[in-house]
Amino acid sequence: LKDIYLFGDSYTSLMDPSRYPKYLDEVYDCIDNMMMCGFGGVGSMIEIQSLISALSLAKPKYLIWALGMNDADSSSAVNANWLTCYNEVIEDCKRYEIVPIFCTIPNVPTINNSFKNDIVRNSGYRYIDFAKAVNAEDVGSTWYDGMLSSDGIHPTELGAKALAARFITDFPEVMG
């Protein structure tokens, strides 16, 4: 299989011009270096099962875990399902000698991701700082102009391009 596995949610759609993988393909020509698994609306508890299945077939060098938008934090604590899966990803990566790469998740008007982002930033593991790319690091942050779609959750084309650029900046190994 591939040396890089990417697990995510609707943000990882390949063909949609408002999703970052489209630009990883069209601008940076690096999508062939990855096995991608992501679905709209999927949360960490479902994707952890996909990860277990993928690891039964082959072990990558890098594992990118880009989940959390569908596992919203409460106003006072990290989402318990997300945290359970995050810890399982760490254990799986240790067991199989895989380098984990986590991702911050942008805050949006209706979804708080601040607690999980603090965990990712303070973990000591490498990460792709998607929240910083669009200026959505804190609860109540306003995305940079033109980057958040009218649904208040997904990026626009401009936002997706910023996420792709951040992906390459924080994880240049994807370039092969």
**For the residues of the chain, what is the DSSP string, one character each?**
--SEEEEESGGG-SS-TTSHHHHHHHTT--GGGEEEEE-TT--HHHHHHHHHHHHHH---SEEEEE--TTS-B-SSS--HHHHHHHHHHHHHHHHHT-EEEEE----BTTBB-HHHHHHHHHSSSEEE-HHHHTT--STT--PPTT-B-TTSSSB-HHHHHHHHHHHHHH-GGGG-
Q: Quick one: pLDDT at residue 62?
A: 98
Chain mean position to CA 34: 14
Q: Say how far apart CA 126 and CA 102 lie, in whole Å.
A: 6
pLDDT value, residue 113: 97
The pLDDT assigned to 14 comes to: 85
Collect all residues with Cβ–Cβ distance below 8 Å to 111 and sequence separation of at least 6: 69, 72, 153
pLDDT number for residue 175: 94
In angstroms, the CA 82 to CA 97 distance is 22
Quick one: which of 47, 45, 51, 44 has its CA closest to 69? 44
User: With a cut of 50, which residues of the chain have pLDDT below it?
Assistant: none
Residue type, 107: N
Q: Please report how the helices 80-96 and 44-57 are oriented relative to each other, as an axis angle in degrees rounded to 10.
A: 10
Tokens (6 digits) for 3: 């040396």
**Taking the chain, what is the end-to-end CA distance rounded to the nearest angstrom?**
15
